[in-house]
Structure 1
């Protein structure tokens, strides 16, 4: 039997449990050449809309595969996800991020997570035009945000259909295992970036014995409550700004070299108050520069002479966020009093950057979401999984290094932490050390040394 067509579908009732819900066994993926990537194979897999109701409505999820270029030495399947949320894992699987040796030894498989790419993409960004400030100054401003969000949620849910209520990370983890079965693999390896690490963690919790290897790069801490979700990210943003200022001090080409960078930043914020994009627009652009990092652009922003540059977020990020992040975390801020306490903590931990673009923005987007999260936050429980490699830059403004440390603390027997002693979001491509350490782990299950030096 070829890997292109695996097995037929059967639904069976567990022995001795007449009347129970049937257990999903195996369906097939009919592969065809990807329309925009000659090296790839694309297909879809039918899965239950709600994994707790396997006899109910079904949906098709999009899958892509780059077959191992050296099949004689093939190790198995490496599932990948670029995070976001909103990034297409199907496209990511066909990218050139991975080394030639990894591409030679693994079938690299990407599954578009629910609400993204070819898996019933949620498209609601147009509904968010004209939103009130996500930084309300009083009760009236908070109520305006609450009313607006509720309207968007209702319209987006109606437009998107039932996928809107079934796009949390726990559902995606079940989809991953359905793809594993369809591929005929006993175990898989996994490589997740940023929010893609959520899918890996949930998979390792439920299907740990089916994991051969797993890399969680720039990990999201699913145990974070709303205070840590916002506060840890706010502190990480300030830490990255401090690193930028240090770079300016030692780098002649920095547009702010020889100046007090913090004072120049405060002056730039005051100046921005009278400009078109305003103070918050400047802060958001600085956050994007730190995330790269693109320190030369950061200096230009402060100096008032920036090149035009788009912010680097997934195009479907805003649309899928309420259906995913708001169902994976308890980000329910109910009233202005709660918001004020949270904002004060955010500013306490981030006096320079005034908080985190992404931590604050995601929490504000969840204002008005009803009910508890479908996949509530909790401590990591991966007792059945093998040793998982957690990778993080020490100075990451998006997924704080403290989160990687906490993940390792929660599962010390099942995780190893590789620290990139540098900057920016996503650590794997930063240096020969980070690439080599991850590749050796994926290929040979060799745990790398504890840290990699920064590359400036």
Structure 2
């Protein structure tokens, strides 16, 4: 990890040091058939291996851990362009599994690239982090100092139990460490340069790799970006505003779509009734808001409308569930990548009031609010503190973002673009949802052209919804 002195310098100056792990080298990967995964919806199509890396990059001669790697070889080896490393975000998704899953990338990309994914620390088959069950938490919207203290105590105990179960990797799983791991994977593959595709939280891995090893990047696509410069106010406030913006897009769709379960009704009034029908408790309302936010991701407007109609009729829909270990790994990753430390109830009150001001419809984002409250249990400063992006050695990077993204706000893509204007191009999808690459022919062709021919648009562009 970056170390206290270097991390402080990054936070203050935004410097982008070259990271050289001299004196340590990975062994070449031994490829074998991938193990069967009964939980995978589609069969894997590739080969698997492992890379051993230092547990602590500041002590490369110390203990090591094993990272799972998978590869789908380029089907047109005569015209192979190199390696495309991919991170599908979460945090918590198995990049190794998804990299060898048919259909993720176009046939043209799979023909010209070895598509490679490695499970970052704490995910998949790389030192999987899973917290013990500590029971139902108190409401994450405390009404006073006593409730705030109880919530902090709960999360401190939860973090302590999770850390004890998952040592030593729990203390060494931030995205800065994962970026150094990615260069170890590059070296183990024997590649001078790599191309990279990251989506959602995976975009932070790409950004940090470009800061550390920009000269090793051939091409980089960052789809629905995390803004690592966001302080706690913007981390909460920007996402609260984005969730409300997405909700208004749903209302507009419902007003013009006869199949919407709420068509012809005052959708805002029905939404308020749905929240009231949960019993009015913050915890019950949070579960409904979380389900609605999840439906905004693709988006699935029909399901969202039906969920609100059902809740307003007294039949709340099932709570949103993640299919990976997000609730566990966010403690070791998000809480170390961002400074989400709240000192006391007074500071919480100010922050929550701003959430409600910027997002009165959705009452804040359950995603960012939940992450921030979970980080109440973390002690000490973040090991990978937020800072402005600084990538002078990187090539032109293609940024993609929906204008109405409920999870990674469009404002974050604009902020990243402003931080690195000389070598980023922004493609705006003029629609809703989280994740742009597969939206339509316009977005897919732009990404494929860039990856295959390094033909990034000279100026910012947009694709219609």
Q: Same fold (TM over 0.5)?
A: yes
Of residues 253, 260, 272, the one that matches 1:254 is 260
Kindly indicate whether the alpha-carbon contact (under 8 Å) linking 2:228 and 2:386 is maintained by their aligned counterparts in 1: yes
1:99 paired with 2:111, answer no
Of residues 302, 325, 333, the one that matches 2:342 is 333
1:150 paired with 2:159, answer no
From the superposition, tell whether residues 300 and 120 of structure 1 become closer, same or farther in structure 2 (CA, over 3 Å): same
Which aligned pairs between 1:59-70 and structure 2 lie closer than 5 A?
59-70=65-76
Kindly indicate whether the alpha-carbon contact (under 8 Å) linking 1:429 and 1:435 is maintained by their aligned counterparts in 2: yes
Shift, 1:179, TM fit:
0.7
Of 300-309 and 338-347, the range deviating more from structure 2: 300-309
> Greater RCO between the two (CA within 8 Å, min separation 6)?
2
Shift, 1:414, TM fit:
1.1
CA distance in structure 1 between the partners assigned to 2:215 and 2:180 by the alignment: 14
Kindly indicate whether the alpha-carbon contact (under 8 Å) linking 2:53 and 2:184 is maintained by their aligned counterparts in 1: yes
Give the equivalent residue in structure 2 for 1:231. 237
Of 152-161 and 37-46, the range deviating more from structure 2: 37-46
CA distance in structure 2 between the partners assigned to 1:43 and 1:350 by the alignment: 45
Which aligned pairs between 1:14-413 and structure 2 lie closer than 5 A?
23-36=23-36, 37=43, 39-95=45-101, 96-124=103-131, 126-273=132-279, 278-304=284-310, 311=320, 313-413=322-422
The 4+ residue runs of structure 1 with deviation greater than 6 A are 274-277
Of residues 427, 432, 441, the one that matches 1:432 is 441
1:39 partner SS: coil
2:390 partner SS: coil
Kindly indicate whether the alpha-carbon contact (under 8 Å) linking 1:84 and 1:314 is maintained by their aligned counterparts in 2: no
1:445 paired with 2:427, answer no
1:413 partner SS: helix
Of 34-43 and 314-323, the range deviating more from structure 2: 34-43
1:109 partner SS: strand
CA distance in structure 2 between the partners assigned to 1:235 and 1:260 by the alignment: 21
- Deviations along 1:110-135, whole A, 9 cap, x unmatched? 010101111100011x4343211111
CA distance in structure 2 between the partners assigned to 1:367 and 1:38 by the alignment: 39
1:256 partner SS: coil
CA distance in structure 1 between the partners assigned to 2:155 and 2:76 by the alignment: 50
Shift, 1:38, TM fit:
5.6
Cα-Cα RMSD: 1.7
- Deviations along 1:24-51, whole A, 9 cap, x unmatched? 1232211101022562111111100011
From the superposition, tell whether residues 275 and 344 of structure 1 become closer, same or farther in structure 2 (CA, over 3 Å): closer
CA distance in structure 1 between the partners assigned to 2:197 and 2:281 by the alignment: 42
Give the equivalent residue in structure 2 for 1:9. none
Kindly indicate whether the alpha-carbon contact (under 8 Å) linking 2:307 and 2:317 is maintained by their aligned counterparts in 1: no
CA distance in structure 2 between the partners assigned to 1:59 and 1:26 by the alignment: 12
From the superposition, tell whether residues 276 and 209 of structure 1 become closer, same or farther in structure 2 (CA, over 3 Å): closer
CA distance in structure 1 between the partners assigned to 2:158 and 2:281 by the alignment: 29
Kindly indicate whether the alpha-carbon contact (under 8 Å) linking 1:114 and 1:120 is maintained by their aligned counterparts in 2: yes
1:367 partner SS: helix
From the superposition, tell whether residues 217 and 276 of structure 1 become closer, same or farther in structure 2 (CA, over 3 Å): closer
Kindly indicate whether the alpha-carbon contact (under 8 Å) linking 2:67 and 2:118 is maintained by their aligned counterparts in 1: yes
CA distance in structure 2 between the partners assigned to 1:259 and 1:324 by the alignment: 42
Which 5+ residue runs of structure 1 have no aligned equivalent?
1-20
Length-normalised TM-score, structure 2: 0.90
1:115 partner SS: coil
Shift, 1:97, TM fit:
1.2
Give the equivalent residue in structure 2 for 1:18. none
CA distance in structure 2 between the partners assigned to 1:261 and 1:202 by the alignment: 42
- Deviations along 1:389-427, whole A, 9 cap, x unmatched? 110011000000000010000000011100100111111
1:55 partner SS: coil
